[in-house]
């Protein structure tokens, strides 16, 4: 299909694009959710035989219910038993009328169904196939299965997260899945642009490991210069290569309340001293210069916290920001749910699920003036769109559907 030239008229940049979605867990569904938000018709292939975990496949599980509505909002759902010849045949027929096929299995799964890229391309020469895996489809680890926490450890993120005198902690959530999802959606959009010019599809081999490793910031530059001597130690809340002091998260009044403060220049230091009331400790010669403040950061942190702990995090942030100092509350989930900036921009939205119950989901983290896109409903009920997909889209007769049902194709 061609990209819709009138997309700006209806606010959906991907209107007319169909995605056959085999993805599950987090990374894959979040990638196709981005496409769905922009108007792509995403047909999610689900199965009760597969592991029912966060994001899919099944909808009625305690673990899958909440995030299923977030990562699969706006999609369609069909049930196929890919252990049957009839289920595989229906999947191939859907691939023939789709623009994108997306999957995030290990490298063995799609070929076992005859749905590897070469096989699908024989059915649909212009198809774009997104394959998302932990390590990519080549290399010695191509067949390994991975999850977020292990990928974060392997990429180096876990080693860098924590304090110097503590064990590595790593990000609290499956950060690598979110990063992989964004990389997968970006790859599909680039392939759609290429196909709009050339008419040719392609295979997209996305490695979550590489997606995460690309975010290691200055560590990569350090490695290119210093090789094995590159800094790869935990520095807590401080920048690993210097960058001013005080620089960290400081305890405030209340239970588990914190504020992050960053001071880079002498001018900012003087503004901080004024903001906290010109305490006597600020005249300590150890803190007279930026270098001195960094060398004595531990002592300085304790003194700064002796002031912040007397005030709420919001009070500290407001006073320091008014003085031109970078400061921000370390927000909790409760804070984010009532954050005025996110509320004004409509980042969290309440949409109805298939039973009409309101669910909170995330919106896209960007605003497009011509094609803003939107999501108006939560994830579909399991297999809710069988009639549309089988009868309207594929033109299957009652007898065809009945034969497939008898053969166990609809799980």
Positions marked active-site: 177
> β-pairing, 247-251 with 203-207?
unpaired
- The answer to whether residues 37 and 20 touch, using CB atoms and an 8 Å cutoff, is no
């Amino acid at each position: 299909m061609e990209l819709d030239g009138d997309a700006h008229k209806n606010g959906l940049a991907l209107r007319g694009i169909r995605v056959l979605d085999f993805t599950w867990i987090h990374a894959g569904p979040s990638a196709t959710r981005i496409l769905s938000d922009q108007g792509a018709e995403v047909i999610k292939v689900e199965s009760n035989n597969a592991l029912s975990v966060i994001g899919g496949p099944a909808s009625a599980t305690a673990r899958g219910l909440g995030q299923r509505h977030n990562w699969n909002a706006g999609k369609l759902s069909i049930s196929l038993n890919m252990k049957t010849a009839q289920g595989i045949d229906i999947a191939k027929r859907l691939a023939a009328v789709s623009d994108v096929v997306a999957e995030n299995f290990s490298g063995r799964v799609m070929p076992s169904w005859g749905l590897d890229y070469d096989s699908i391309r024989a059915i649909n020469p212009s198809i774009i196939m997104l394959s998302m895996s932990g390590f990519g489809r080549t290399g010695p680890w191509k067949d390994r299965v991975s999850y977020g926490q292990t990928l974060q450890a392997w990429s180096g993120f876990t080693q860098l997260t924590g304090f110097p005198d503590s064990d590595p902690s790593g990000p609290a959530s499956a950060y690598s899945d979110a990063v992989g999802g964004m990389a997968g959606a970006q790859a599909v959009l680039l392939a759609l642009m290429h196909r709009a010019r050339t008419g040719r599809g392609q295979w997209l081999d996305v490695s979550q490991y590489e997606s995460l490793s690309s975010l290691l910031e200055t560590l990569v530059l350090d490695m290119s210069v210093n090789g094995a001597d590159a800094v790869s130690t935990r520095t807590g809340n401080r920048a690993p290569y210097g960058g001013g002091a005080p620089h960290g998260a400081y305890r405030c009044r209340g239970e588990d309340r914190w504020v992050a403060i960053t001071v880079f220049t002498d001018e900012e230091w003087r503004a901080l001293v004024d903001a906290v009331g010109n305490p006597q400790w600020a005249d300590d010669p150890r803190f007279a210069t930026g270098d001195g403040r960094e060398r004595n950061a531990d002592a300085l942190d304790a003194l700064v916290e002796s002031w912040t702990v007397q005030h709420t995090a919001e009070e500290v942030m407001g006073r320091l920001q008014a003085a031109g100092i970078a400061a921000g509350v370390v927000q909790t989930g409760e804070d984010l749910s009532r954050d005025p900036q996110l509320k004004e921009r409509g980042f969290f939205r309440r949409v109805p699920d298939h039973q009409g119950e309101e669910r909170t989901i995330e919106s896209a983290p960007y605003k497009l003036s011509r094609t803003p896109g939107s999501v108006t409903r939560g994830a579909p009920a399991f297999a809710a769109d069988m009639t549309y997909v089988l009868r309207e889209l594929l033109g299957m007769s009652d007898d065809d559907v009945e034969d497939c049902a008898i053969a166990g194709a609809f799980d």
